[in-house]
Structures are given as structure tokens and as C-alpha cells.
Structure 1
Amino acid sequence: MDKAPGEIRLSSATGRWVILTTVLGSSMALLDSTVVNVALPRIGEDLNADMAVLQWTVNAYTLTLAGLILLGGALGDRYGRRKIFIFGVVWFAIGSLLCGLAPNDILLVAARALQGVGAALLTPGSLSLIQASFHPDDRARAVGLWSGFGGVGAAVGPFLGGWLVDGPGWRWVFLINVPLAALCVPVALRHVPESRDPQAHGRFDVLGAVLGAVALGLITYGLIAPQVWAGAAGVVVAIAFVLVERSRPDPMLPPSIFASRQFTAANLVTVCVYAAFSGFFFLTALQLQVVAGYSALGAGTALLPTTVLMLLFSARSGELGERIGPRIPLTVGPLLCAAAMLLMLRVGEDASYVRDVLPAMLVMGMGMVTLVAPLTATVLASVETARAGLASGINNAAARAAGLLAVAALPLLAGMGPEAYRSAEQFGETFRRAMPMCAGVLVLGSLIAWTTVRRPEPADVLARARPQCRVNCGVSAPPLEQAEERVTGSAGP
């Protein structure tokens, strides 16, 4: 390693190695957020698991990731971004290996929770390493490359997952992360400089992180089981979380940030749209295989238009949002996505891809293109530049928590029994009840945006942070953004 943090040029060999390292790390976590859905029917069949296990296979990962992602970013700032990033990659790889080798459903769910912890450590570190490593003149282009390659990874994720499930088997959806980590770690050690935030101080809000994760876990269990006592206990723990955050000097989730009405409104929209997205993609991957008779590869390929459209047009959507303001995109985008979910009601047994599935996927992609980039921009424009990283982290965690609760609640609300996914008739019937529910949540998000989101004044826009990830495929959560890097310190190779 020949450059200190903040001095690496994008054109140098070291710069290319840094890009490779961060893309590999972030892609591991991103892929596991998108590819597992297409593997669920095979997992259930192989492990003789019921619907609750399929829900937990998705939610155990989301639970620990959502609960700990803010803490993961703070650890990197304090103890070294490269160190925590590498630790997260190794942790994630171990969790992936355990997932791939799991002999039963209990160990698979436990291993998925471990994966989520690793993802919470490495996901915030990817972008922060870019910011801390590159020369200021090259930083924007480096972030653009990182987000672009990450978008490609998100686009091919469901396709890759389907190919692995139909080929070597569902276990390779997880095992493929092990060689990726084996490549990522030595490259990071050799080529990525260590950096930290010298202004990071105070105690970590471990209690807040634990309370938040426990609250989400109890409510999720209460919805999946279902058990009223667990849901009630989760609400009590959530209230304790709020009280703790209000009383701590350095809280993980500062209540003061919600003094911005625009920030609060944008997060309410986020909760609505990502709850609907998570429920939609979870159930659609099952519908295409269980009811329409698609292979895992066919189901994964069917989802490609949505992410491809986001990859191609998210940057332009962000530019349009800057010109016309966020209110219209955040109102129209959810309505388009709601229309796409209603179009999915046409997908039944022996559904034609071109006639029945493709139109819904194209409309879904158009809706997500319309709203995701302006949503991120609205979140960042609603807070001071110094709090951009915190605001983005909160927004990302809110999206994941919303998705977690949606995957837990939607099968219950739609009346899906434990064995629903084994019967095309039964699952198709409950799917037809679930899609209007998802569409209704999106309509609610659209109404919130129309009534509460306002265009910021030009002076405010200039004084606030703007999105750095111009290209994104925020299917599972909005892209993480960070405040401008202050002063970095090297800890040596």
C-alpha cells in the first residue's frame, strides 16, 4: 500500500483495488438481500419446513441487519473502517458457510441471523472506505463506480440465485459468498488504507441497539407465530427504546433529528413503500414458482426488468427530482408500484411471461425509478450536511424494519396457512388477497407524500447534503449515503 487515506487517485492501481474490495464486500450483502427469495421453495422442500420457516429465513437476516446497521457505522468510525469492514466480511462469510451447511431449519435461521450481523458491519463500511481513501477530486467518480457496479450486482442477483438453485442447489446461494470473501479480505489488507474519524467520541449506544433489535424480534415473532404476548412485549420494549434514546447524551437514534418535518415525512413514506416492496418480492418469488410453475431460474429472470430499469434510469430520476421537487415523484411513484401489484393479480397457473408477468414488472420498475432516488435526496436535503450519514442510516434502517414487519405480517393478514406454499390453489388464493394489501400501503405512502412533503428552498438545497450514489437499485432499502469526509487518520497497513 503506497498511499495514505485521502490521497489515492482513481487512475492508480491502488485505486482500482479499493474499488474492487468495496464492490465485493457490498455485493455479498446486497446479493443475499435479493437472491434468497427465489430459493425459498427449494429450502422448504429440502428441510421439510413450513411457511413460518421461510419467513424467518428472510427475516432473521433482516432483523439483525436493521437493528445493528447504525452501530456498525459508528464502530468503523471509532476503531477503523477497514478493520470493521474486514471483520464484517469474515463474519458474513462464516455465517454464509453455516447457512450452506445447515442440516435443519433451526440452524439455518440462526446462521441467517449471524449473516445479518456481518452485513451490518460491512455495509456501512463500503461507502465510508471510498470516501476516506480517495483524493477529494476523485471521490465523486469513485462513488459513482462503486454504486454502478453495485447496481449491476443487484440486477443479476435474482438471475444468479435462480441459476444456482436449479443447478448445484440452494445451498450455493450462501456458499458462493465464501470464495468472494476469500478474495476480498487479502485485497483489503494489502491495498486499502486504514482510516477513522478522530472526532468520534462518547460511549456506543449498545443498549439502544439491543433494545431496538429485541423489539423488532419480539414483534416479528408475535406476527409469525402468531403470539399476542410476544407482540405486546415487543411494543413495551419499543417504548423502552424510545425512552432510552431520549435520555442518552449520544443516542444511536437522536430524537432531535425528527424535528425536521420533511425528514419525518420522508421516513413515513419510506416505511410504507419498503413494507410493500418487501412483501411483494417475497410473495412474488413464491407465486411464480408455486402457482405459475416457473423454475427458480425462470422466477429470478422474471424479476430482472425491475432492477435493470433502476440501474439504467435512477440517475436521471434523481436529476428530474431536483428540477421539479420531490413531491410529485414521491406521489406518483408509489401509485405506479401499486398498479403493478394489482397487475400481478393476472398471474396464475401457466401464466404467460410476456402477457401477464412482464407488464407488471415493467410498471413496477417505472414506479421504483420514479421514487427511490428522489426519496434519498429528500432525506438528505432535510438535515444539515454534518448529519447526512446519520439521516441516511436511519432511513435505511427504517426501510429494512418495515420490510421485516411486512414479511412477518402479510401472510398472517392474507390467511396463509403453514403449508400454503405447497399448494398452488391455496397459495394463489392468498396471494390474490395479499397484493391489494400491498397496493393499499403504497397508496397510503403516496397520500403521505402529497400532503406532507414540500420542495425545499433553493438556499436550503445548497446548504444540505446531496446524494452521492447516483446509480442505485434500492430494492430492499434506499442506498446508504454519508456526510462529507472530515479528517482521516491512518493506522498504517
Structure 2
Amino acid sequence: MSVDPRRWRSLALLGTAQFMLVLDVTVVAIALPRMGEDLDLSRGTLTWVVSAYTLMFGGLMLLGGRSADLFGARRLVLTGLLVFTAASLVTGLAGSASMLLAGRVAQGIGAAMLSPAALSMVTRLFQGPELNKALGVWSGLGGGGAAIGVLLGGLLTAGPGWQWVFYVNVPIGLLVAAALSRSLPADVPVRDRPRLDVPGALLVTAGTGSAIWALINAGDRGWDSAGTLGAFALAAGLYAGFAVLQRSVRAPLMDPRILTRRPVVAGTFMILVATALMISVFFLGSFYLQHLRGYGALHTGLLFLPVAVATIVGAHTAGQLVGHLGQRAVAVAGLAVAGVGTAVPALWTGAAALVAGISVAGAGVGATFVAASTTALARAEPHEAGVASGILSTFHEFGASIGVAVVSSIAAASIAGTTGAGFTDAFTFAAITAAAAAILSAVIVPARTTSDEPDHDRPRVAMH
């Protein structure tokens, strides 16, 4: 495959688009109180302002990835970006709860089209050591975007108003779309393009949506509530139906055997844990600083700036090292550093200890993102890059939902503002989780997933 001379420019633009999607999760969190006051929203509606986006984003991700394989990653990137941009304008203009939630749903649909297609395009543009570096940049922008979202949310909410957390996407989205239309290479024509497996898409989307819905609501309703267990059971049934269907249709959405590959299993495990840790420390840190310490939105946002920088640095460093040390070493080191970082606010109280600790954790999480991406995607075939990216991105959203659900349950009393003990317990749990994941990664993550591996280590999957 020839090297595209515009690949680094394309990466910068694709990274900017992905940055917008990730940022839109945390940028809204800081604006929620002001949003609720202006639109007279209930607590449940405020929760769904965040959850409606993540639910559609995660639920439709695999469909978006498969669509990129069938119809072209370039086409899906541009379409998804324009849908997301238009939806951002609608959300900013919202004068009611229904319009606000409809805009967030549409943003999630655009994000689910854009994110896996963009990651698939990155794996097409880069090869070998350059792919590791490119994925380091990609992971740094994604991880840093979540932290910068807290800062930007504080700046915009305290300045022109909460509507601008959505309006800011409009000019950026239009400019990036125009630039990408000129820099991205044309899609490779697909001969005898099969039809999209619509029943399979509906089953896997409904299954993923049910699972994420259960995780989102577990914090409030309880892990053993009938609603939570019922949603998990429904998700399991829908996934089982999806697996059966994929073995019987001529043009499956995804061959389930891709999930038996060791690199894919290891990569999805790492992305799940890393995202859960990242969202957990942002969630806990935001509530700790605002509710327990009494800091304003702008002050809180500024304190998250070193977290963003550390995440980007950690990902960039890992991108440079993963080709030399291998994915396993980077994964174990990244998760160990994340464990040390989350242990700091568990052992010491105060804003300084919190910011220092979650900054260290951010560096470790950034490195883990790179290990996860390179492990799962380094040897994906061109015709399945979209599906592999969709799987990875789906588990990213699972991780975010699991992280919030678990730590919000552990720190419930502290989030309500009655005590600080819950924060200590939640950070302790995060530190133990990171340490356990580091140990498990030493076992399940391949030392390397490069082209010099023997073929028997990686079963071939035929995608029709």
C-alpha cells in the first residue's frame, strides 16, 4: 500500500474530530447545573442529557464500523461529522427538555458513524512504527479531550453560557469537514458490495443499548434491582440472538470469531478498564472539588488542565515506546502507573493531592489506550478495520458507563455532600482495579502484535 503524503495532516484533522466527540461527554457535565436552572430540568432529565449521548454513541458503534467497511470510511467520516455538527446546533438552540434530548440523541448517532470510521481511516493511512505513533496521537487526543472538556465546560458556562458548549462544535465541525474532504484519500471501491445486515444491526444495537442503559441506571436503581437485572438479561438474549444470526446470514454484520482472537480480547479488556478508570477519576474529581471543596465550575476546570496534559504526554510516550518494548510491557506499566495515581487521593485528602494523583493516573491511562489500540488493531485486515474499530470503540463506551455506575454507587453519600469518606472508598476501589488489571494484562496481552507473529497465533476471519 502506497504512503499518502497527506497522512499526518489527515491525522490532525481526524484527531480534531474525535477530540470533539470525546470532549462532548465531559464538557456537558460542568454545564448541567446551569442548564437545569435555565430549562427547569429534573434530576432525571439532567442525567439523560449525558446518558442519551453515550447510549446512542455506544449502541450504534458497531453498526457505524461495519458501515465504514461496506460504504467507505471517508464517506462515513464526513457524514458522521456533518450530522454531529448539525445536531450540536440544534442542542444549543434547545428551549425545552425534549429538544435538548433529541439533539443529544442526534449527536450520538453522528458520533457513532464518525468515530469507528475515523479510527479505521487511521489504520489505513499508517503502517508499521508510524501506526504506533499515530495511535499514540489519537489516544492522547481522546484521553486529553475528556479532561479538557471539564476545563472548557467551566470556561464557557461561566462566560457566554451553557449553550456554547454545543455552539462551539459548529464552526469547528464545518471547518474540519471542509478540510477532510480535500485531504482524505478516496474510498476503495468494494466489488459486489453486500447488503448491510439490517436484522443483525438491530439486534446488536438493541443489545448494546440495553447493556449501557443497565450500567447507566445501576448507580441509582442498584445493581440487584429488577430493572437493572432485566436490562442485563435482555442484552444477553439479544447478543445471543445476534451470534446465532451471524452464523446463518450470507453477509453478516460481524463474524463473532473475531472476538476469539487474543489481540482483540486483550485490546478490548484494556480499553474497557482504561476508560472506566479515566471517567471515574474525572467524575469523582469534579464532584469532590465542586461539592466537597466548594470550588466553582471555572476553578474546577482549570485544575483539570494538568490531567489533560499528563494524559496526552502518557499517550505520546507510549506511542514512541510500544514498538520497542511491545504492547504487554506498555500495558502493564500504564495500568500500574494509573493504580499509583488513583491511590494518592485515597491516602491523602485535599485538592493538591487529588490533582497530583489523577494527573499521574491520567498519564498511565493515556499509555494504556495506546497499548489497547495497537494490540487490537495492528493486524486487522483492511476489510475488517471498521468492525475492529467499532468493537474497540463500543468497549470504550461500556467502560465509561461501568466506571460512572460503579463509583457513583460507592461514593453516593459523598456525591450527595454529606461526607468525604465515599470518595476515599471509590478511589481505593479504582486503585485496586488498576493493579488487578495490570497483573491480568501481564498474562493475556501478547508481547507484540506485529507482522512477524506466526499465522497460527491469529486465526483468519473471512468477512464476506
Equivalent pair of 1:273/1:441 in contact (CA under 8 Å): no
1:271 is the counterpart of 2:272: yes
Change in 2 beyond 3 A, CA 1:366/1:433: same
1:469 aligns to what?
A: none
Q: Percent of aligned positions with the same letter in both sequences?
A: 29
Change in 2 beyond 3 A, CA 1:436/1:211: farther
1:205-354 to structure 2, matched below 5 A, reads 205-223=197-215, 224=217, 226=221, 227-228=227-228, 229-345=230-346, 351-352=350-351
Shift of 1:164: 0.6
Give the total of aligned pairs. Answer: 445
3-state SS of 2:187 partner: coil
1:371 is the counterpart of 2:368: yes
Alpha-carbon separation, structure 2, partners of 1:425 and 1:58: 24
1:176 is the counterpart of 2:172: no
**Alpha-carbon displacement from aligned partner over 1:130-186 (angstroms, at most 9, x marks no partner):** 787x899xx979968984995697364432222111111222111111222333444
3-state SS of 1:286 partner: helix
Structure 1 counterpart of 2:389, from 378, 382, 392: 392
Change in 2 beyond 3 A, CA 1:431/1:194: same
Alpha-carbon separation, structure 2, partners of 1:334 and 1:20: 27
Q: What residue identity is the alignment partner of 2:166? A: F
Deviates more, 1:166-175 or 1:57-66: 57-66
Shift of 1:72: 2.2
Alpha-carbon separation, structure 2, partners of 1:397 and 1:107: 26
Root mean square deviation, CA, Å: 3.9
Change in 2 beyond 3 A, CA 1:90/1:34: same
1:77-226 to structure 2, matched below 5 A, reads 77-126=69-118, 147=138, 150=141, 154=145, 156-188=148-180, 194-199=186-191, 201-223=193-215, 224=217, 226=221
Structure 2 counterpart of 1:66, from 34, 58, 63: 58
**What TM-score, normalized to structure 1?**
0.76
3-state SS of 2:254 partner: coil
Unaligned runs of 5+ in 2: 222-226, 457-464
Alpha-carbon separation, structure 1, partners of 2:123 and 2:444: 33
Change in 2 beyond 3 A, CA 1:175/1:451: same
Shift of 1:284: 2.2
Alpha-carbon separation, structure 2, partners of 1:77 and 1:270: 22
Structure 1 counterpart of 2:438, from 442, 446, 449: 446
Shift of 1:289: 1.6
1:425 is the counterpart of 2:418: yes
Equivalent pair of 2:31/2:157 in contact (CA under 8 Å): yes
Equivalent pair of 1:56/1:109 in contact (CA under 8 Å): yes
Alpha-carbon separation, structure 2, partners of 1:280 and 1:200: 47
Change in 2 beyond 3 A, CA 1:324/1:47: same
3-state SS of 1:436 partner: helix
Alpha-carbon separation, structure 1, partners of 2:255 and 2:357: 39
Alpha-carbon separation, structure 2, partners of 1:450 and 1:142: 22
Change in 2 beyond 3 A, CA 1:381/1:95: closer
Structure 2 counterpart of 1:414, from 410, 425, 432: 410
Change in 2 beyond 3 A, CA 1:219/1:85: closer
Unaligned runs of 5+ in 1: 465-493
**Alpha-carbon displacement from aligned partner over 1:373-405 (angstroms, at most 9, x marks no partner):** 222222235656765554333222212222223
Shift of 1:45: 4.6
Alpha-carbon separation, structure 1, partners of 2:321 and 2:247: 37
Alpha-carbon separation, structure 2, partners of 1:158 and 1:45: 19
Alpha-carbon separation, structure 2, partners of 1:120 and 1:110: 15
Equivalent pair of 1:273/1:445 in contact (CA under 8 Å): no
Alpha-carbon separation, structure 1, partners of 2:262 and 2:119: 27
Shift of 1:115: 0.4
